Structure 1
Amino acid sequence: MRTPRTVRTWFITGASRGLGRAFAEAALERGDQVVAVARNVEPLRELIAAYEDTLLVMPLDVTDRVAVLATVSAARDHFGRLDIVVNNAGTMSSGMIEEFTEEEARAQLEVNFFGALWVSQAAMPYLREQGAGHIVQISSIAGLGGFPTTGLYSASKFALEGMSEALAMEAANFGVKLTIVQPGGYWTDLYTSMTATTLLPPYAPLRAELEKRWAEGSIDSEPRLAAEAVLKLVDSEEPPLRLLLGSMVYDLAFGISQQRMATWGAWEQVSRAAEHAVQAPGT
């Protein structure tokens, strides 16, 4: 006789659209409980009627640390536990590095990095107490490398991944798992809702060149495919620290890694010559 599957509780940020919405629907369809949070929760109203006993919808601005702490606490009290925390909320601002104002640069990191940091901090006490749980950080293909016009977006994802690597090691001591998910392209409104910097004329030729490269069209996929992959991820007894989603991002990850290793190898002598242990000054 098959043992019934344990019902788990998900906390998903940015759950009203795109990948977050797909994650929430996939979890609900399999019988799990979901706390779906977003700045605008109106698009989630249609799900409430179908899943009134297993879905809790809460408005939340993840950049507000006090609100994040209160919301995560209320979510845990409502369902009695947290099992899977998905930091999916994110925004994208397009522009050359020189074009970003201080306000625009800080805004990019507020959601993509600090928002995920606040949610992770808020969830950890409950996951530690349980001695179990899984934090899923939704990064991006931009977490693999920096690209023209997406430099600040990449910066936010690099920060997310650096923080998450350390958190994974810290959380493992309490039986809590963490995975950084790096998706490729999916049909979400990330690109249609993104903001843009004020353009500087000297970058016009580079922009024209980039537009030619991108003119072949999108190869984006349906968000449900990402959701299916995440279900397999959270069901794994030994989930990886990183998971690539999509053939394009998979190939790009290997290409970037091989290029970096080749460069490191070419400059090995210079690197090694820059280190020679000596006694501390004054000893």
Structure 2
Amino acid sequence: MTKTIFITGASRGFGKIWAEAFLKRGDKVAATARNLETLNDLKQQYGDALLPIKLDVTDRAASFAAIQQAKDYFGQIDVVINNAGYGLFGAIEEATEQEARDQIEANVFGLLWVTQAALPIMRAQKHGHIIQVSSVLGVATLPVLGLYNASKWAVEGLSESLASEVKDFGLNVTLVEPNGFSTDWGGASATHSQPIEAYDQVKANFQAGATPESFGDPEATTDAILKLIDATNPPLRLFLGKVAFPWVKQVYSDRLATWEEWSEVSAQAHGI
């Protein structure tokens, strides 16, 4: 069945790959980007099935207007994919106040504004699927990406709560959690804090762990996303890539072992 999909951050990477996959199979797509020229090729090929919208998701009023524009144009919105965001590379001590605020504004507040704008429309429809592009780093963490980790952990908590709030309205929420993929997320799309020499070894160790085989092919994610939006009972969480699940299993095993080791202390802290 044809779906109407609103996706942010569609200028490149996952956003553009997925938007094209939706259009190719006959879906209708409202695609947002800061630079609409990046969507010209899709517009020329798919015509009225694509509604390009210029949007900076950190602008709450503009996010509400963009959602309403898509609703007015297509008549409904079946799926919202909050994909816009970027990575801030640098040790936590290195991040400036502005860098930290900008990271949270884009990755958390931008997602929140679009979500809030879509919810009244979806509640009125009595159906809808909100897909939040999180990261495996919203479940586990790596050094040198502390502010990015924090932003995705916020997205995880917000979206898990949201899922329980909107379930009775017939709405679904899914957190998509990719591991590393060969996009420009770590290149042109990223920002970097001014380095402090003391963290050079931490960064060297981080770089050494980034082997080519740990990065997936972004084009290979399209089948998973299509299956996700077509699912009648979509999951709350979905990893993308083969690295994420084994890594998180180990992380949670370690966490459970620590909690178990300290469980007596925890129970005593209850007081009664």
Q: Which residue of 1 aligns with 2:121?
A: 126
Q: Which residue of 2 aligns with 1:211?
A: 207
Give 1:218 deviation, angstroms: 4.8
Q: Deviations over 1:53-98 (max 9, x none)?
A: 2110011000000000111001101000000000000111100011
Q: Which residue of 1 aligns with 2:176?
A: 181
TM-score between the two structures when normalised by the length of structure 1: 0.93
Between the two proteins, the alignment pairs up a number of residues equal to 271
Please give the alpha-carbon distance, in whole angstroms, between the structure 1 residues aligned to 2:145 and 2:38: 28
Whether 2:75 is the aligned partner of 1:84: answer no
Q: Deviations over 1:120-160 (max 9, x none)?
A: 00000000000001000000121112211001000000001
Among candidates 56, 65, 69, match of residue 74 of structure 1: 69
- After TM superposition, the structure 1 = structure 2 runs for residues 133-282 of structure 1, keeping only pairs within 5 Å, are 133-193=128-188, 194-214=190-210, 216-277=211-272
Aligned partner letter, 1:57: P
**Quick one: percent identity of the two aligned structures?**
46
Give 1:205 deviation, angstroms: 2.4
Aligned partner letter, 2:45: A
Q: Deviations over 1:18-47 (max 9, x none)?
A: 001111011111111000001112111011
Structure 1: which 5+ runs fail to align? 1-5, 278-283
Q: Which residue of 1 aligns with 2:32?
A: 37
Structure 2: which 5+ runs fail to align? none
Please give the alpha-carbon distance, in whole angstroms, between the structure 2 residues aligned to 1:28 and 1:246: 23
Among candidates 29, 42, 47, match of residue 42 of structure 2: 47
Among candidates 3, 6, 9, match of residue 11 of structure 1: 6
Please give the alpha-carbon distance, in whole angstroms, between the structure 2 residues aligned to 1:208 and 1:71: 42
Q: Deviations over 1:150-206 (max 9, x none)?
A: 010000000011100111111112000000000112221111121111111111222
Give 1:222 deviation, angstroms: 2.3
Change in CA separation of 1:49 and 1:211 when aligned onto 2, cut-off 3 Å: closer
Please give the alpha-carbon distance, in whole angstroms, between the structure 2 residues aligned to 1:126 and 1:213: 44
- What is the root-mean-square deviation in Å for CA atoms of aligned residues? 1.1
Preserved contact between residue 144 and residue 206 of structure 2 (Cα < 8 Å): no
Aligned partner letter, 1:209: N
Please give the alpha-carbon distance, in whole angstroms, between the structure 2 residues aligned to 1:173 and 1:15: 30
Q: Deviations over 1:245-272 (max 9, x none)?
A: 1110111111111111111111110111
Aligned partner letter, 1:207: K
Give 1:236 deviation, angstroms: 1.0
TM-score between the two structures when normalised by the length of structure 2: 0.97
Please give the alpha-carbon distance, in whole angstroms, between the structure 2 residues aligned to 1:222 and 1:88: 17
Q: Which residue of 2 aligns with 1:281?
A: none
Please give the alpha-carbon distance, in whole angstroms, between the structure 2 residues aligned to 1:13 and 1:23: 11
Aligned partner letter, 2:62: A
Aligned partner letter, 2:120: P
Q: Pick the structure with greater CA Rg.
A: 1
Preserved contact between residue 92 and residue 147 of structure 2 (Cα < 8 Å): yes
Bigger mean CA offset, 221-230 vs 6-15 = 221-230
Aligned partner letter, 1:38: A
